[in-house]
Chains A and B, each alone.
Chain A
């Protein structure tokens, strides 16, 4: 699965807000088709780092390329190549499922035919045939999140960024959600995901753990557990995050 083709590459990427260094010279690479877990305590700088990568926040300094495009100059090209789904549910609640699919399909430049085809496929896969013309607001949270993820990868992006996608979702739905992530990765979509759930960290191919704006560890979950002599990712995380000075 790991073809070692690099899709995200950062070099000392930094974001400062005044004197506060939210993200401090982070350097890492993400390979095509892998599930990259981006962990860290609250306030560690995960979201800031992600925002720079998806082109909605300008870095203070450092270099980064996403899908082969520069985060300073080619943000519009980056935006075409990625999908994004945030913890804050972000489909339009007052539009129906179909209307949301049409809107986001249209925004990413899919043709009417593609929208129709992919939209139907998506609805069938999620078993939402009966709900297709209902408002999104009428769906339970778990379904909404699955729908949001499906719409985020509707345009076959190279990379999909997931910012705590399973927050507030029950364990069964979370499991189903991860099945969808695996499937996407299997189709060659790189998954860049932040999470607070350490069991989810175990599902990732590689994880990085951020503490106080810097990357403290980066490896496969198995390797990290070995290095730290820990039984679970949770232990690894607690060991590393204990040194954190920034509170919540």
Chain B
């Protein structure tokens, strides 16, 4: 026990003496929490568009107005012909072409229908898809508006319309920041827990100090605890900083209980620290450790559901997320922070993460050798 205290003191002295690591630990949560949620916004605003108005009528102008006033589109250029419009797209000045044919207004009034052509730049498929879907919504609204205006109050609606309205529970304004922030918090804890542990142990291998410890009467469990406890505490500190930042910047306060989050994070960290320890047993240099860690971090994060929803993944990728501890943590963070889920809601996640913790640490301890 006394040996462990000496080791812990050494570890904390070293951590707090490394100004760079310290800065990273404190600055990283702030920067990531401020940058990532803004950058990772799935909502599109100001999609640049170009319009070709062959009709020059009141309705055609009204339609273009509906587009620009929606907030989703920005008219960057008015083109004379479709070829001109294509040129605008090629010059990267617009991502959507709206072509209103001649006789748009006349057809609409006389024949009750008219055509509009939409063409989206599909280099970025996601933008194109969103642009078209927003445009369709806007045209539908426009359609409804003029119907109300044109068809004078029908006594009975000839065509019964089922109108679909949706409301978004737990995140009523569909604010993507609410969606991203809990994920980024999970990410921060992951980085600190996993990366720092792996690198720290390998650094001792590199400098040769680990050999000095190996010839001393330190027991294996003392060495491992001496390494894990400091980074466990550090991980929880980073989580706390993260919560403070997300409150100050986004006003996010978990709907569910803090206690539950910290309880889960505590177990999650044990799992990740074990994984870091396991990584360190495979690497002899910090460079190797960094590469191994990067491989796993990238995979964990990309398959973790932070940016791309797990539901949209193909089956094989979805199965992979089952063995990805990060995806469980991100899910729990979202559930507790946004939905206010309680312990019974995340009990399955708890069981799995405990399993991860046991597995990783057992493997790490088995693989960590004081002798060769």
Which residues of A does B touch, CB under 8 Å? 51, 54-58, 75-76, 79-80, 82, 84, 86, 88-95, 99, 102-104, 106-109, 161
Minimum CB distance partner of A103 in chain B: B10
- Docked CA distance A92–B209 (Å): 7
Minimum CB distance partner of B372 in chain A: A57
B6 x A107 contact (CB < 8 A): yes
Chain A residues with CB under 8 Å of B126's CB are none
B214 x A76 contact (CB < 8 A): no
A55 x B371 contact (CB < 8 A): yes
Chain A residues with CB under 8 Å of B2's CB are 106, 109
- Docked CA distance A93–B207 (Å): 9
A82 x B207 contact (CB < 8 A): no
A sample of 27 inter-chain contacts (CB < 8 A) reads A55-B215, A55-B371, A56-B214, A57-B371, A58-B372, A76-B217, A80-B217, A82-B215, A86-B211, A88-B207, A88-B208, A88-B211, A90-B207, A90-B209, A90-B211, A90-B212, A91-B209, A91-B212, A92-B14, A94-B17, A95-B14, A102-B6, A103-B6, A106-B6, A107-B7, A107-B213, A108-B216
Chain B residues with CB under 8 Å of A91's CB are 209, 212
- Docked CA distance A99–B6 (Å): 10
Instruction: Report the minimum CB–CB distance from B286 to chain A (whole Å).
Output: 15
Instruction: Report the minimum CB–CB distance from A126 to chain B (whole Å).
Output: 19
Q: How many A-B residue pairs have CB under 8 A?
A: 76
- Docked CA distance A94–B13 (Å): 9
B216 x A104 contact (CB < 8 A): yes
Interface residues in B81-123 by Cβ distance below 8 A to A read none
- Docked CA distance A6–B216 (Å): 22
Most buried by B among A57, A84, A94, A107: A107
Instruction: Report the minimum CB–CB distance from A97 to chain B (whole Å).
Output: 13
Most buried by A among B5, B18, B208: B208
- Determine whether B70 belongs to the interface, using a CB cutoff of 8 Å to chain A: no
B6 x A54 contact (CB < 8 A): no
- Interface digits, B200-220 against A, CB 8 Å rule (1 contact, 0 not)? 000000011101111111110
A51 x B208 contact (CB < 8 A): no
Instruction: Report the minimum CB–CB distance from A218 to chain B (whole Å).
Output: 24
Chain B residues with CB under 8 Å of A106's CB are 2-3, 5-6
- Determine whether B348 belongs to the interface, using a CB cutoff of 8 Å to chain A: no
- Determine whether B370 belongs to the interface, using a CB cutoff of 8 Å to chain A: yes
Interface residues in B173-227 by Cβ distance below 8 A to A read 207-209, 211-219
Q: Which 6 A-B pairs have the closest CB atoms?
A: A106-B6, A88-B208, A90-B212, A84-B215, A79-B217, A80-B217
Chain A residues with CB under 8 Å of B215's CB are 54-56, 79, 82, 84, 161
A107 x B217 contact (CB < 8 A): yes
- Docked CA distance A117–B217 (Å): 22
Instruction: Report the minimum CB–CB distance from A79 to chain B (whole Å).
Output: 5
Minimum CB distance partner of A152 in chain B: B212
Contacting residue for A99 out of B10, B18, B211, CB 8 A: B10
Q: Can you name 5 extra interface pairs (CB under 8 A) apart from A56-B370, A79-B215?
A: A90-B211, A94-B13, A99-B13, A102-B6, A106-B2
Minimum CB distance partner of A102 in chain B: B6
Minimum CB distance partner of A81 in chain B: B217
Most buried by A among B10, B18, B209, B217: B217
Q: Assuming the A-B contacts A86-B211, A107-B3, A107-B217, are A92 and B371 also in contact, with contact meaning beta carbons closer than 8 angstroms in the complex? A: no
Chain A residues with CB under 8 Å of B216's CB are 79, 104, 107-108
- Docked CA distance A139–B259 (Å): 47
Chain A residues with CB under 8 Å of B14's CB are 92, 94-95
Instruction: Report the minimum CB–CB distance from A109 to chain B (whole Å).
Output: 7
B372 x A56 contact (CB < 8 A): yes
Chain B residues with CB under 8 Å of A75's CB are 371
Most buried by A among B14, B18, B207, B215: B215
B371 x A58 contact (CB < 8 A): yes
Chain A residues with CB under 8 Å of B208's CB are 86, 88-90
Chain B residues with CB under 8 Å of A76's CB are 217, 219
B372 x A84 contact (CB < 8 A): no
- Docked CA distance A99–B213 (Å): 15
